[in-house]
Amino acid sequence: MIPEYLISFDTKKLPKEKVDFLVIGGGLSGLYLSWELRNFNVVILYKDGIEETCSYNAQGGIAVALNEDDKPQLHKEDTLKVGCYLNDEKAVDILVNEGVERIKEIIDMGFNFDKENGKLHFTKEGGHSRNRILHSNGDAIGKNLTKFFYNLVSMFPNIKIKNKSFLIDLISVENKIIGAIVLDEKQNKIYIIQAKCYILSTGGAGMVFQETTNPSHITGDGIAIAYRKNVELADLEFYQFHPTTFYLAGAPRFLISESVRGEGGILRNIYGDRFMFDYHPSGELAPRDIVSRAIIDQMKKTNSNCVYLDLTHLKKDYIKKRFPQIYDFCKKYGIEPSKNLIPVRPSAHYFMGGIKTDIWGKTNFENLFAVGECACTGVHGANRLASNSLLESLVFSKRIGIKLKEEEYKIEDIDFKYVFPKKGDILIDKEDLKRSIRSLMWKNVGIEREKETLEYALNKLKEWNKYAFCKEFDDKNGFESLNMLIIATLMAESAILREETRGTHFRKDYPYQDDKNWKKHIIVSKKGVEIR
C-alpha cells in the first residue's frame, strides 16, 4: 500500500475561485474540450505551457478512415489487432466512426491538412492496412492542431488560460470532487479552484523512464492524484516504447516519427544489414512493440547502443518538405538525412493505461472526468495503433462536452479543514529521487521484463516510499517526485501480476499470449487490485 500523501493546508484560509468547469492540462484534448464548453466559464491549467504538452510535440499524424479505399471497419480491425484484442470494442467503434465526423468538422472549421494534387494526402504507419494517416506541414500535426485550438479558445474571455499552474491535489468528499488545490508558480501562492466538474487531461507519465520522448513535465500527476482520491486506474502495465528516437551522446531523445518508415525509411544494424523482415512480414511497418524489441535484440547481438534509420535513398528536397522538423533537428547535430544514417533506439512514448473511464470520459467519481493520454478509455488495448492518440483526444473530448452540457452539476461548498498531520521531516534530494526512479524503471520495468527484475524494482520503490512520504513538500519538484513514485510503484505491481506477453508488455519468463487466463484488465485503486 502506498502511504498517504502528506500535505497540510487549511482550506478555510486559502483564496478561492469559482468556475463552471476546470480543465487540468492544455494539450489537444483539454483545448478541444474547452472549445466545446466555450459558452461556459472555464479555466485551463497549464503546468508549464502549450509547447510542453505531448500533443504539441506529436509528429506523425492523425489516423482516420477517409481515404477512398478505406472504411471505419478496417480501421477498427487494425486497432483491435494491434491492441491484441484487449481493447474495449464499443470504444473502438466510437473512435473509428465518430473520428470521421471530428476530422470533417475541423476541416470545415478551417484546419489545413497536407494535400497532393488537390486531395488530402494519406500516408501509412505501422499496423495499418491502409494509407489513412493525415498530416500537416509534413511532421507538424501536433503543433498545428494544438495551436489551432489554442487560438480559438483564446478568443473567449470566459475561458481563462493559466500557465505555470500546478495541480497539487483534488479535494474529495465521498464520491465527489469539491475542490482543486493549485500552486501558482508565477505568484508563488496556493489557492483553491471550485468547479461543477473537473476534467483531467494531464497527459501520460513518460518521465518515470530514463529514456523518453515526452517533455520533461510529463510526470503522471493527474493519474497519481486520481489514485490518491480512490479513482480506479486500469492497464498500467501497458506502456508503449517508440522504436525510433534520435540517439547521440548529449542530444535530447528527439522523436523520429513512424511516418518516416511509412514513407520508406529502412532500419539497419551497425553492420548496415536490414533486419526487420527477420522479425515480422511487414518489416519496418510492424507494430511498434515488435519493432522496439527487434531493435533491442539487434543492439544485443551487435553489442551496440543503437541501430540506424536509412533515408539515403530518398531525395533531399522530399525529406525537407515531408519531415521539416526532423530534417532540421538532424542537421543541428551534423547529420544530413539524405546522406547519413540516423542513429536511433527505443524510448518510452505513450501510456495505454491510466484513469479508467466509460465511453463518455466519466470516472467512478460523480463529477470527475478524464481524457487524452491520462485516461484509459479502452480503445488502445495492449498496444496503441500509430496515430490513434490525437483522434482519441478529439473524439472523447467531444463526448465529454456533450455530457457536461446535458447534465446538471453544482458547486459544493468547502467547509472543513484539509489537513494531514506531519509525520516527520527529513532531507530528500528530489532530483536524485527522480533520477533513481527513472533509471530503475528503464532497467527493470522497460521493454523486456521478468519476475526477478520486476520484483527487485518493486522492492526498491517500496523502500523509497517509506522515507519519501515522510517529507512534507511545498514545491512542484517535491510533488512531482511523489507522483512519479506512485505511478512507478503501481506500474511495477501491475507488470508483476500479468503473467503473459501481450502487446507492449513483454515477459521473458512468460513469452506467450494467454487468452484463457489473461484476456482481462488489471484495475487498481486505493481499495486494492481487481482482475476483470
- β-bridge mates for residue 368, sequence order: 198
Q: Is residue 192 over pLDDT 70?
A: yes
Domain boundaries, the chain: 15-238+352-406, 240-347, 418-531
Task: State the DSSP string of 327-379.
Answer: HHHHHHTT--TTTSPEEEEEEEEEES-EEE--TTSB-SSTTEEE-GGGEE-SS
> Residue 426 class from Cβ within 10 Å (0-12 exposed, 13-18 middle, 19+ buried)?
exposed
Length of the chain: 532
pLDDT of residue 425: 61
Q: What is the mean pLDDT of the chain?
A: 93
Q: What is the pLDDT of residue 92?
A: 98
Q: Does the structure show a pLDDT above 80 at 10?
A: no
pLDDT, tens digit, 9 for 90 and up, residues 299-315: 999 999 999 999 999 99
DSSP-assigned beta bridge partners for residue 8: 419
pLDDT higher than threshold 80 for residue 421:
no
Angstrom distance (rounded) from CA 146 to CA 28: 5
CA-CA-CA-CA dihedral for 17, 20, 23, 24, to nearest 10: 30
**16's grid cell:** 478561492
Mean pLDDT of 137-151: 95
Which of the following is catalytic: 102, 132, 261, 288? 288
Residue 9 has pLDDT above 70, yes or no: no
Task: Read off the pLDDT band of 1 (50, 70, 90).
Answer: very low
130 is a catalytic site residue: no
Model confidence at 33: pLDDT above 70: yes
**Would the pLDDT of 331 be above 60?**
yes
Are 369 and 397 a contacting pair, CB within 8 Å? Answer: no
Of the listed ranges 92-96, 110-114, 216-220, 247-251, the one predicted with least confidence: 247-251
Residue type, 475: D
Mean pLDDT, residues 189-193 = 93
pLDDT digits (tens, 9 = 90+) for 377-411: 999 999 999 999 999 999 999 999 999 999 888 88
Q: Is residue 414 predicted with pLDDT exceeding 90?
A: no
- Rounded to whole angstroms, how far apart are CA atoms 176 and 80? 34
Q: In sequence order, what are the beta bridge partners of 241?
A: 348
- Residue with more model confidence, 120 or 465: 120
pLDDT at 446 over 80: yes
Give mean pLDDT, residues 363-368: 97
Q: Are 282 and 496 in contact (CB under 8 A)?
A: no
Joined together, the cell numbers standing for residue 40 give 461556459
Q: Which three cell numbers stand for residue 164?
A: 505555470
β-strands 62-63, 133-134: how paired? antiparallel
- Of residues 11 and 129, the one with the higher pLDDT is 129
CATH of span 418-531: 1.20.58.100
Whether the predicted pLDDT of 213 surpasses 50? yes
Instruction: Give the model's confidence band at 417: pLDDT under 50 very low, under 70 low, under 90 confident, else very high.
Output: low
Is CATH 3.50.50.60 correct for 15-238+352-406? Answer: yes
Residues 431-436, mean pLDDT to the nearest whole number: 93
pLDDT category of residue 415 using cuts at 50, 70 and 90: low
CATH topology of domain 240-347: Flavocytochrome C3; Chain A, domain 1 (3.90.700)
pLDDT at 127 > cutoff 70: yes
How high is the pLDDT of residue 314? 95
Kindly report which listed range (2-6, 130-134, 354-358, 405-409) carries the lowest average pLDDT score.
2-6
Q: Which comes out higher in pLDDT, residue 126 or 36?
A: 36
pLDDT of residue 409: 86
The tens digit of pLDDT for each residue in 267-299 reads 999 999 999 999 999 999 998 889 999 999 999
12 confidence band (pLDDT: 50, 70, 90): confident
pLDDT band at 470 (very low <50, low <70, confident <90, very high): low
Where does the pLDDT of residue 156 fall: very low under 50, low under 70, confident under 90, or very high at 90 and above? Answer: very high
Instruction: Quote the cell numbers at residue 408.
Output: 446538471
State pLDDT tens for residues 64-85. Answer: 999 999 999 999 999 999 999 9
Residue 249 scores a pLDDT above 50? yes
All three cell numbers of 414: 468547502
